[in-house]
Amino acid sequence: MAPSVSDVRAVGVSMLATKNTQVTPDDKITEDPRDSNLHRAIHSHPMGGAANLRDVFTNQGSSVCRAATGWYKDVVVVDAIAGPSFAVEASSSRQCPSRHGPIASFSTSSTIHSNQLADHRIISDPFPNQDTGFSYEKRDQLGLRGLLPPAKQSLNTQVLRVLHQLRSKATPLEKHVMLASLRQTNTRLYYATILANKEEILPLIYTPTVGEACQKFSHIYRRPEGLSISLEDKGKVASIVENWPVPAGSPRIAVITDGSRILGLGDLGWNGQGISIGKLSLYVAGAGIHPRATLPIVVDLGTNNKKNLEDPLYLGLRRERATTEEYIEFMDEVMDALHSRYPNLIIQYEDFTSENAFRFLERYQDKYPMFNDDIQGTGSVILAGFTNAARIASKESGRPLHDHRILMAGAGSAAVGVGKQLMSFFTRQGLTEDEARERIYITDSKGLVTKDRGDKLQEHKVFFARDDNNGKQIKDLAGIIEYVKPTAILGLSTVKGTFDENVIRKMATLNKRPIIFPLSNPTDNSECTYEEAVKFTEGRVLFAAGSPFPEIEAGQSPTGKRMIPGQGNNFLVFPGIGLCAALCKAGRVTNEMITESALALSDALNDEERAEGRLYPNTERIREISRDIAVRCIQLANKQGVTRDGGKTAAMDEEALREWVHGEMWTPKYDSHEDA
C-alpha cells in the first residue's frame, strides 16, 4: 500500500531532523551521490523505499529527496539505476534540467508508473544511461525493452564501438566534437574510453585539440555543460549559483576562466568555457573525481576579440571587456557566492591574462581554497621535469646542481610562475632566495628583462628583472644566450619557431646535455619541435614540451636508440593537487603544497622510465601519480594546519592514507551484474 501524504511528511521531517549529522556533503567526494548517507537513509527507512514513494511529497519530503538525488530541482527521481525509477513531484510542476541532460517534462499526476518515465529519465540522463549495457532484467524493470537494440553489451564492447567511430573521423576537431557528444549522453562510457586509451584520447579532449575547439566553441556548441556567469548578472550571482542542480555531495572541484587568454590563442571570450569543461574531464580521468562533483564555470566580462563580436553565432556578451574596477568587484561577488554556497569547493583559476591571474591569486589565495594552474600548476610540473633533467645533465657534465642557469623566453604569468617555482630547486641546493633568483633570466618581446631597459615593466616582471647587466640591453635571443650562457632554455612565448636552428645549436655548443623545454600550447605555438631539437643537438637534448610530439624511432635517431620526448603537461600535477585539497577539505592551497606536488611528481619516475631517458612518468600511470601527489600534499597540509577534515587524514599513516586515497577515486563501471 502506498503511504499517505502525512506518512511521507513524517519520513521527511524525521530525516531533516538528522540534517546536522547525516544530511551533509558526503566525505567521499568521488562516489556516486546516490551512495551518500542521505540516499541510504531514505531507502532504509520503513516508509522511504523507492517502491513506496509514488505519491506527492510535502515540501519537507521533497527537500530530502532532492538533496539525495540532486538531478532535478523540483522533479525528484529516486533509484534510477538500482531499481524502478519513480518520479515524485513537489509543489512546482515546471520543467527542470538534469546535470547535463535535456529538460524533462513530467506529469503532475500524483501517481506515475515508472514505465511512463523510464525513457525520459534513464536514456536522456548521461550518468545513469548505459544504453546497450542495460541487462534484460533492468530493461524490463525500467520499461526500456524495445527502446534499445536487442543486444546486451559490456562496457568494454561499447568502448570498442566508440573507438571504431572515433577513428573514422577525419580531423582532431571532429573527434573532439564526437567525444563531447558522448560525454553528454553516456558519462561512464566516455570516461571508460579515455582511461582505456589515454595516449590516443587525451590530446583530443585537451591540448592540443581543445585550442581549436575553444576558437570555434560557439559554432560546435550543442548543449549546456556548466555555469555561465556574465556581467549582466551583477548583483544576482548568488541566485545563479543556486540554479546549479547539485547532487547530495555538492560540487567539490570547479575550474573557472574568463576566456581572456586561452592557451596561446588570446582573448576568446565566452568560448573559453571549453577549457573549463576539458580541464574537469582531466580531473575525472586523472584523479578519479566523480563527474557529478565537478563544476565548469566561465565568467563573461566581455571580449576584445573583434572576430567574436562580429560573429552572429557567438554566444557570449557583445561588449568590450570590463574595466579593472568592474572586474575586481564582479569577481569578488562570484567568489563570495561560490564559497557561501559550497564552502569546501576547490576553485582552479584557468587562462586569465597575466595581470589578472596574479591579481586574483594574491587577492584570494589566503581567503578561499583556490589555486591558479597557469602560475602554480605550470610551475610545479616544470620544476619536476627540470629537476630530473638537471640531475642527468649534472651527472654527465660534472657541473654542480646549484650552478645551472635558466633562461625563459616569455615573461607572462606562466613564465613568472615557473620561475618562482624553479627558485625552490636552487634553495634546496643551499642557495639563498636572492642567489636562487639570480640563476633565472626572463625575456619578452623587447629582449632581456632588465630594470634599466627604459620601458615601464608590468608589475609581475619586476621580480626577475636584472640589475646586474651594467647598462647592456640585448634584444635577440641568440645574443642573450651568448651573454647568459644558460644550461636550460624554457619557452613560454607562445611564438612558434622562437627556438630556431641558431638558438638550438648555440645551446648544444654551450652544454654537453642542453635542456630545451618549448612549453607553449597548442602545438602550433611551440617554440620548436622535438625533431628539430634532436637534429640540431645531435641527439644530446633533454627535452620536454607543453604539447605531445611523436617519438623518434631507433632507425631515425642520432643515438641509434628510440627517443621519447617529455611532455610537461599540467595534467601530470593538477589532478593530484585538486584531489588532495578536496579529500582533506583544505581551507587553503599553500605555495608549499604546490612545491610538494612537484617533488612528488619528480620522484614518480620508475626504473623503467628512467632507463628510457624519460623526464616525466608515463601518463598511462596518471591515477597512480595523482594518488601519490595527493598523499604527499595531504601530509603537508596536515603539518601546516590547513585541513578541515576533523583530523581524519592526520590520523592515518602513509600506507593507510595511500590506500584510503586510492579507494576514494571513482572508476567508470556499470553495475557488476550488468557488465558481462
Residue 68 makes CB contacts below 8 A (sequence gap 6+) with 33, 34, 36, 38, 39, 42, 78, 248
Say if strands 566-567 and 86-89 run parallel, antiparallel, or are unpaired: unpaired
Q: Which residues are catalytic?
A: 206, 279
User: 350 a known binding residue?
Assistant: yes
CA pair distance 252, 290, nearest whole angstrom = 9
372 annotated ligand-binding residue: no
Q: How many angstroms from the chain centroid is the CA of residue 312?
A: 30
Distance from C-alpha of 554 to C-alpha of 544, rounded to nearest angstrom: 19
Q: Is 466 annotated as a binding residue?
A: no
**569 known ligand binder:** yes
Between the alpha carbon of residue 142 and those of residues 79, 145, 158, 285, the distances in Å are: 11, 8, 21, 29
Q: Which residues lie closer than 8 Å to 352 by C-beta, 6 or more apart?
A: 257, 258, 260, 261, 360, 372, 374, 413
Is 521 annotated to bind ligand?
Answer: yes
Report in angstroms the alpha-carbon separations of 244 from 87, 100, 182. Answer: 20, 11, 22
| Long-range pairs, 648-651, Cβ under 8 A, ≥24 | 648/27, 648/584, 649/583, 649/584
Rg (CA), the chain: 26
- The response to whether 311 counts as a known ligand-binding position is no
Alpha-carbon separation of residue 279 from 44, 46, 282, 373, 645 (angstroms): 37, 43, 5, 10, 26
Q: Cα separation of 629 and 632, whole Å? A: 5
- Greatest Cα pair distance, the chain, in angstroms, is 91
Which grid cell is 216? 570555434
Distance between CA atoms of 431 and 362, rounded to whole angstroms?
26
Q: Do residues 546 and 207 touch, judged by C-beta distance below 8 A?
A: yes
**Residue list, annotated binding site:** 261, 350-351, 374, 521, 569
**Residue list, annotated binding site for a divalent metal cation:** 350-351, 374
**Residue list, annotated binding site for (S)-malate:** 261, 521, 569
